[in-house]
Structure 1
Amino acid sequence: MSHCNALVIGTGPAGLMAAEELARAGCRVTVAEAKPSVGRKFLMAGKSGLNLTKDEPASMFNSAYADAAAWLQPMLAKFDARAVQDWARGLGQDLFTGSSGRVFPVAMKASPLLRAWLARLDGLGVARQTRWRWTGWTECGAARFDTPHGLQELAADVTVLALGGASWARLGSDGAWAEILAARGVELAAFAPSNVGINLDWSAHMAPHLGAALKSVRWQAGDLSSRGEATISRRGLEGGGVYALTPALRAGATLSVDLVPDLTAEVLTKRLASKGAKVRLSHWLRNGLRLPPAKLALFFEMTQGAPLPREKWVATLKALPVRTAGLRPMDEAISTAGGVARRSLDDGLMLRAIPGVFCAGEMLDWDAPTGGYLLTACLATGRWAGRAAAQVAKVR
């Protein structure tokens, strides 16, 4: 059995941030990762452009975390969107802010930032172990790992768990840790998919539109609405516009879409009134409103081509019911809700049932839409847990 001051299990953004804070506090830190390389989900997230955070007022930013906003607020206040940007620039990354307020590296990839970050951790003396899969603790409290060289045991003064949620298992977030913690008396909230695609049973009518984007639309589900695009995929709808509505859809809310959000019902009614009584619905949508093919296809797919009374044309355009067939599987979700319950943790994110063990990142029970909120909270909770763990390590 070997020993270190601080052990971090998981090398996503939360884990690496915790390791950095512990090392800066003077702890001898080891990070352990089950996969052959670190930060796999982080790298995957950056494939289509690494959205680091969102530049908007703190009140708007915090509201994205819904019921967990009050819990996360102190952590986000200490490492907010501005701090995330300063941190990335400190790692040599030039940034830009898009028209929506989303902040990206100019490189539009996660790999340069991750390389710079790992170099910084190397300089701080952080040791890394890959292909070390955590399987729990020994009777004496040492962490137990399955490794290519057999069973390894590592005792630590403090441990930070940053094991992710329960999606994208092939990248390391498989949620297997839940059984280990539950067996030790840690209260958990059930995992549920978040930021995930929607299943729809398309007819053959939709085949020519697969891959097309639905733009300039507003989606609605329950109390949630989202002005964002979605792509028509073979299995349904994908994209930020519908991802943001996952909490309401999980709760059983129905989905609708406003295909012309920039035109009020009053304006549409007046435009329709100016047309002759014999105008056909398809002609008005195509030539009068100039709806693009993807929107036209969705409209007639959802109305099933049934005759629609003229007096319902406008209302249907403004709130077209979308007949979903449920959410995509949890392992395909960008993130998951559920995890370690707030009351299982003290104010420093230490487990009440297992003193000296802290949790951070997506394994905590909070939820947020895409758009920089996920990554910012992972970094903020990792920093918070790392600093709290460093204080406990010093006390010991």
Structure 2
Amino acid sequence: MTAKTPQTALVIGAGPAGLMAAEVLSAAGVRVTVADRMPSVGRKFLMAGKSGLNLTKDEDPAACLAAYGDAAPALRDALADFGPAQVMAWAEGLGQPLFTGSTGRVFPVAMKASPLLRAWLARLASRDVRIATRWTWTGWDGAAATFDTPDGAQAVTADVTILAMGGASWRRLGSDGAWAARLQGTTPFRPANCGFRVAWSDHMAPFFGQPVKATALTAGTSTSRGEWVVTREGIEGGGIYAVSRAMRDGATLWIDLLPDLAAERIGQRAAAKGGKASLSQILKSGLRLPPVKIALFHEMTRRAGIAKTAPLAETLKALPVIHDGPAPLDAAISTAGGLQFKALSGLMLRERAGVFACGEMLDWDAPTGGYLITASLATGRAAALEALSWHP
């Protein structure tokens, strides 16, 4: 039997995954309705672009796949078909020139998401994609998806449906994870790419908001040389996010405060200050640590119960960070958990034929560096392609 292309499609969720699904479906001539619970679309996408929209990372496909760890086959297949090179070509096709930073991260020259989103929505409008805002999905009524809308309850029946409702962080931007209660086969949400809470002593207050530079972070098998920040609530920033998955799963965070100085050289510099020098003098003038690093050293040795007689070089090269767990789920950049891949056949729900899922609502972890947006686009595209080839 030859598969018949669906004539109508419903996409629930208007973030990168949902909009990419709508793009692929509409390009095939399908009449598409996109429903989103917020007053406007792409709100988290726009927020991500406020500090520079990191679309992807310019690296070979094998390195890209490796960044997702033990990703499910459906996610790996989606990324193999639509990885960094394809993301860059797609953005340039929307008239957005790109540049690649020194670490391989790729950004629009405009350094924000709004020009790309405007061009994307214009493309969808030219294909008569209908976008309905303030539509909150409430479940199913037979074959129809039901919604609370400004005009009251609505029911929409379509040949195929794409679910792209996001994770459970930044709920004020649209992703609250409430959909999980209406689907089978979900895993509780967990924070990803997140900060961690620390109950600082009073002497740390002068350093709130200060960046910590030139450190090496290790948690489990994850490492980072990225910058991070001391905040009133704890620690956060790119360096922390890079090791946050291991920290969330129980690994201790170790900080090398002098990653470019060998332990032997640290010992020599400390000894050169003479036996009468205080520890503070050694840290400040002998090792030239900035005040924020000195404060962290004193804070964490106290919290960890490290004796003042402990070898200084060893402690500076492996300072344990005692924290109180991840920051609240809603403050995380992204979330793990959600719809399990075993609840899917490819990207179609096993419990409901003709309904496909994509984006951050799937249970996968993405590191920072453009990987979240890349996989959201890739799975949105893959779900739409599966929908186009599916038939009852």
Question: Aligning the two structures, in what range does the TM-score lie when normalised by the shorter sequence?
Answer: over 0.9
Task: Select between 328-337 and 259-268 the one with higher mean Cα deviation.
Answer: 259-268
User: Corresponding residue for 1:205?
Assistant: 203
Instruction: Extract unaligned runs of 5+ from structure 1.
Output: none
What's the offset of the Cα at 1:307? 8.5
User: Corresponding residue for 2:3?
Assistant: none
Partner of 1:291, secondary structure, is coil
User: Corresponding residue for 1:187?
Assistant: 185
**For the residues of structure 1 that align with 2:103 and 2:204, how far apart are their CA atoms?**
30
Q: 1:244 aligns with which of 210, 225, 242?
A: 242
User: Corresponding residue for 1:264?
Assistant: 262
User: Corresponding residue for 2:39?
Assistant: 36
Q: 1:145 aligns with which of 129, 147, 150?
A: 147
1:4 and 1:155 in contact (8 A); partners too: no
User: Corresponding residue for 2:252?
Assistant: 254
Task: Select between 273-282 and 107-116 the one with higher mean Cα deviation.
Answer: 273-282
**For the residues of structure 1 that align with 2:43 and 2:310, how far apart are their CA atoms?**
53
TM-score normalised to structure 1 length: 0.93
Structure 2 residue 119 is the aligned partner of structure 1 residue 116: yes
Task: Select between 269-278 and 82-91 the one with higher mean Cα deviation.
Answer: 269-278
Task: Provide, for residues 271-302 of structure 1, a one-character-per-residue CA deviation record: whole Å limited to 9, x for no partner.
Answer: 33444233332222211221112111111111
**For the residues of structure 2 that align with 1:203 and 1:331, how far apart are their CA atoms?**
25
Q: How does 1:329-348 map to 2 (within 5 A)?
A: 329-347=328-346
Q: How does 1:1-396 map to 2 (within 5 A)?
A: 5-68=8-71, 70-139=73-142, 141-181=143-183, 186-304=184-302, 308-309=307-308, 312-347=311-346, 349-392=347-390, 395=391
What's the offset of the Cα at 1:250? 2.0
What's the offset of the Cα at 1:264? 2.3
What's the offset of the Cα at 1:225? 1.8
Instruction: Extract unaligned runs of 5+ from structure 2.
Output: 1-5
**For the residues of structure 2 that align with 1:109 and 1:34, how far apart are their CA atoms?**
23
The Cα RMSD (Å) is 1.8
What's the offset of the Cα at 1:246? 2.2
**For the residues of structure 1 that align with 2:131 and 2:36, how far apart are their CA atoms?**
8
TM-score normalised to structure 2 length: 0.94
Partner of 2:356, secondary structure, is strand
Determine what percentage of the aligned residue pairs are the same residue. Answer: 60
2:193 and 2:241 in contact (8 A); partners too: yes
1:63 and 1:69 in contact (8 A); partners too: no
**For the residues of structure 2 that align with 1:204 and 1:60, how far apart are their CA atoms?**
43
Q: 1:218 to 1:71 in 2, by over 3 A?
A: farther
What's the offset of the Cα at 1:310? 5.7
What's the offset of the Cα at 1:266? 3.1
1:189 and 1:339 in contact (8 A); partners too: yes
Partner of 2:194, secondary structure, is coil
Q: 1:78 to 1:320 in 2, by over 3 A?
A: same
| Matched letter for residue 317 of structure 2 | K
**For the residues of structure 1 that align with 2:317 and 2:73, how far apart are their CA atoms?**
34
Task: Provide, for residues 205-231 of structure 1, a one-character-per-residue CA deviation record: whole Å limited to 9, x for no partner.
Answer: 111111100011111222222221111
